[in-house]
């Protein structure tokens, strides 16, 4: 377009009319035309200062900085040590320039390389496919005293399948709890994935051997990524935000008594928003379909009685739970959308 404008008659009237027709500012046209006609100036090479170190001198400096006695020292420290020895090679800034040329301005010692932890991507579309477990502290009768609550939850039904309160955090205490839960729910080999964070009890060798013996797939969150274990974290919030939850427990028996009542209520009576306002027991034991249809019949009767109260559409109960993810893949979300 600029070439076509430049080929027009070089008069102000023609240029103004053409720019107006094309929606182009005249200042833009004149600026670009001047730039196009400006001669190309090749920059002259910068002359090398006479005081620049020769190639062999620069090599001597980098060799010196790589010596074992100086490899963990800063250029300023090396500069001062050499001066105290009556030696001078170059300035501190020149040492930095030479190190930069060799890509050694950053830490030059060997550093620990942290492994790349894979993001856990787990799906459950029925109970007893993926369990999540974690440990939380319950405050004891005095300051700095705690009891430890172990909780195993099914991420599909949100049912607590096992729990215990202990006075310490240990993989040895988790073993009987998990074995009892697996027996009660008849977990077959290669059926279940157990997800947890990277706490000491979760990553302990005893826990890994237990899961290997039972043919249970283990999964772990990434370090310092709490939303990799969202179901356990959410459950602990539900526990500790209960109005009846005490600030402190007088003894471990008090903690166990409270938790027994809470988990009975949670599994049988708590209508969980994440599973269509059904209780964990209803979803875990296959009653979700019957509950959904009964609720739909109730809403249908309400609609037939007063259809004018439902403006946009006929009422429907909250949807039944389907597949539940921990970190759904991006392409899966795109396909579902």
Q: Which residue has the higher pLDDT, 132 or 333?
A: 132
The two tokens of residue 291 are: 């509950």
Same domain, yes or no: 138 and 30: no
| pLDDT of 114 above 90 | no
Same domain, yes or no: 216 and 163: yes
Q: How far apart are CA 151 and CA 173, in angstroms?
A: 12
Same domain, yes or no: 129 and 269: yes
Number of domains in the chain: 3
In a domain, 317, yes or no: no
237-273 pLDDT, tens digit per residue, is: 999 999 999 999 999 999 999 999 999 999 999 999 9
The CA-CA-CA angle for residues 126, 240, 322, to 5°, reads 15
Same domain, yes or no: 229 and 167: yes
Residue 335 pLDDT grade (very low, low, confident, very high; cuts 50, 70, 90): very low
What is the domain range of residue 22? 2-37
In a domain, 130, yes or no: yes
Rg, Å, the chain Cα set = 36
Same domain, yes or no: 163 and 240: yes
Instruction: Return the beta strands (E) in the chain as ranges.
Output: 122-124, 130-139, 146-154, 160-166, 193-196, 217-220, 324-326
The least confident of 20-24, 59-63, 99-103, 313-317 is: 20-24
Q: How far apart are CA 321 and CA 314, in angstroms?
A: 21
What's the pTM value of the predicted model, to 2 decimals?
0.68
| pLDDT of 34 above 90 | no
Q: Which residue has the higher pLDDT, 39 or 128?
A: 128
| pLDDT of 9 above 60 | no
């Amino acid at each position: 377009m600029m070439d076509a404008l430049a080929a027009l008659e070089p008069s102000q009237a023609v240029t103004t009319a053409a720019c107006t027709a094309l929606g182009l500012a005249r200042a833009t046209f004149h600026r670009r035309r001047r730039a196009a006609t400006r001669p190309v100036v090749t920059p002259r090479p910068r002359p090398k200062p006479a005081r620049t170190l020769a190639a062999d001198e620069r090599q001597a400096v980098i060799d010196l900085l790589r010596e074992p006695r100086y490899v963990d020292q800063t250029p300023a420290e090396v500069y001062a040590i050499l001066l105290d020895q009556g030696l001078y090679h170059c300035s501190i800034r020149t040492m930095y320039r030479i190190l930069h040329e060799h890509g050694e301005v950053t830490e030059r010692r060997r550093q620990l390389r942290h492994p790349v932890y894979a993001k856990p991507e787990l799906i459950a579309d029925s109970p007893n496919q993926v369990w999540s477990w974690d440990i939380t502290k319950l405050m004891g009768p005095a300051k700095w005293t705690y009891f430890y609550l172990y909780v195993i939850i099914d991420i599909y039904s949100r049912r607590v399948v096992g729990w215990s309160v202990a006075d310490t955090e240990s993989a040895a205490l988790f073993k009987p709890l998990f074995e009892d839960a697996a027996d009660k729910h008849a977990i077959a080999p290669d059926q279940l994935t157990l997800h947890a964070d990277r706490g000491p009890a979760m990553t302990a060798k005893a826990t890994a051997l237990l899961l290997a013996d039972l043919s249970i797939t283990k999964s772990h969150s990434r370090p310092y990524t709490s939303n990799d274990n969202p179901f356990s974290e959410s459950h602990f919030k539900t526990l500790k935000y209960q109005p009846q939850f005490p600030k402190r427990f007088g003894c471990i028996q008090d903690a166990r008594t409270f938790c027994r009542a809470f988990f009975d209520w949670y599994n049988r009576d708590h209508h969980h928003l994440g599973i269509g306002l059904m209780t964990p027991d209803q979803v875990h034991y296959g009653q979700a379909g019957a509950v959904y249809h009964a609720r739909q019949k109730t809403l249908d009767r309400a609609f037939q009685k007063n259809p004018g109260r439902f403006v946009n559409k006929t009422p429907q109960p909250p949807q039944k739970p389907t597949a539940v993810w921990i970190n759904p893949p991006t392409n899966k979300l795109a396909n579902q959308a």
